[in-house]
C-alpha cells in the first residue's frame, strides 16, 4: 500500500506515463512540466523535452515560471526561436504534446478562449497560444483536465480535435492523417477515443472514484469501456518526486477540493464488507 496521495498527484503521475524514451515532447508550464520532469527522472531519461519558446532537450530543476524560463533548467541542448519550434511541429518532429482543457466536447475539440458569448463573455480565457498548432500537427495529443468542463457545444472552438467525429478530421484535409487527441486524463479517470466514431469513452477510473461521479459531470450519454480498468496506484517514489519538485502543483490550487484517495478507498472497502 502506498502512502496517501491526492487526485491531483495521480493526475500528474498518469500524465507522466504518457511520455516514453526517445520521444520529442512539447510541454507547457504547470502540470505538464511537472509530469515531464517526473518522466525524465524515472521513466524516460532519453525523452527530449521542448518548450514552444524554442528551448530544446532540457531537464527542469524546479517548476518553470514561463515558457522561456531557461533559468529553471539544468542545461539544454540548444535554444532556437518560437518560429522554429512551431515549424518543427509542422514538419512532423513532435511526437507528443500535452494540452490543458477549459471546455471539451465528446470529439476532443477544445475551447480555451471564452466562456459564453465571444463579445460579452462570462469569462475571458488565455486563448490558443500554441495549442491549435500543436493539436493540429503533433503525432499524438494528450489532453489534461484539472478544472475544466465537458460540454455538448463549445462556447468557442480554439483547437480542433476530431471535429464532427468519424473521419471528419482526416477528410477536412487540414491535418496530417491519423493525428488528433488520443487520451484525456482528468482527476477522475482516463478517457480515450473510439477508433471509428472518435467519440470519447471512459477507459480507466481512478481508485476510490465512482463512475456515477464522472457521469454527472458529462452532458452526453458517456460510453464505458467493456475492459474498464482502475488506474495503477502511484509508488512512493513517484509521490515523493512530485512533492519535492512542485509542492503547490502536488496539492492543487484548492486543497479543500482535493480528495485523499487512501481515505476514500478505505471507506469504499468498508462499505462492501
d(CA 29, CA 135): 17
d(CA 160, CA 237): 36
Query: C-alpha cell of 156?
Result: 468557442
pTM: 0.86
- What pLDDT is attached to residue 250? 66
- What pLDDT is attached to residue 252? 58
- What pLDDT is attached to residue 28? 81
CA angle 57, 63, 65 (to 5 degrees): 95
> Is residue 124 a contact partner of residue 209, using CB atoms and an 8 Å limit?
no
**Helix or strand or coil: residue 101?**
coil
Q: How far apart are the two ends of the chain, measured CA to CA in Å?
A: 19
Which helix (H) or strand (E) segment is 100 a member of?
strand 96-100
Virtual CA dihedral for 162, 118, 27, 67, nearest 10 degrees? 160
- Its CATH architecture, for the domain 7-272, is 3-Layer(aba) Sandwich (3.40)
Q: Which DSSP state fits 71?
A: G
| Residues 6 or more apart in contact with residue 188 via CB below 8 angstroms | 7, 205, 206, 209, 213, 214, 217
Residues of the chain with pLDDT under 50: 253-273
d(CA 267, CA 269): 5
- What pLDDT is attached to residue 268? 46
- What pLDDT is attached to residue 227? 95
Q: What is the pLDDT of residues 231-259, one digit of tens each?
A: 999 999 999 999 999 988 766 544 333 33
- What pLDDT is attached to residue 169? 97
d(CA 29, CA 67): 6
Amino acid at each position: 500500500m502506498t502512502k496517501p496521495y491526492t487526485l491531483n498527484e495521480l493526475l500528474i503521475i498518469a500524465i507522466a506515463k504518457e511520455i516514453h524514451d526517445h520521444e520529442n515532447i512539447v510541454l507547457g508550464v504547470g502540470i505538464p512540466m511537472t509530469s515531464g520532469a517526473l518522466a525524465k527522472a524515472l521513466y524516460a531519461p532519453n525523452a527530449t523535452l521542448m518548450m514552444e519558446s524554442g528551448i530544446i532537450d532540457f531537464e527542469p530543476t524546479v517548476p518553470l515560471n514561463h515558457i522561456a524560463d531557461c533559468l529553471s533548467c539544468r542545461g539544454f541542448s540548444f535554444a532556437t526561436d518560437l518560429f522554429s519550434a512551431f515549424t518543427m511541429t509542422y514538419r512532423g518532429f513532435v511526437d507528443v504534446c500535452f494540452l490543458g482543457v477549459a471546455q471539451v466536447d465528446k470529439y476532443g475539440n477544445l475551447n480555451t478562449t471564452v466562456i459564453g458569448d465571444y463579445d460579452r463573455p462570462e469569462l475571458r480565457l488565455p486563448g490558443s497560444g500554441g495549442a491549435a498548432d500543436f493539436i493540429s500537427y503533433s503525432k499524438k495529443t494528450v489532453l489534461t483536465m484539472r478544472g475544466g468542463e465537458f460540454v455538448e457545444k463549445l462556447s468557442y472552438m480554439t483547437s480542433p480535435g476530431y471535429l464532427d467525429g468519424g473521419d471528419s478530421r482526416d477528410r477536412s484535409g487540414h491535418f496530417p492523417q491519423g493525428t488528433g487527441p488520443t487520451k484525456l486524463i482528468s482527476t477522475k479517470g482516463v478517457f480515450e477515443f473510439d477508433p471509428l466514431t472518435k467519440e470519447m469513452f471512459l477507459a480507466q477510473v481512478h481508485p476510490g472514484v465512482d463512475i456515477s461521479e464522472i457521469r454527472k459531470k458529462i452532458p452526453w450519454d458517456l460510453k464505458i469501456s467493456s475492459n474498464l480498468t482502475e488506474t495503477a496506484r502511484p509508488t512512493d517514489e513517484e509521490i515523493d518526486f512530485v512533492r519535492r519538485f512542485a509542492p503547490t502543483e502536488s496539492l492543487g490550487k484548492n486543497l479543500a477540493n482535493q480528495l485523499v484517495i487512501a481515505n476514500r478507498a478505505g471507506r469504499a472497502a468498508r462499505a462492501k464488507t
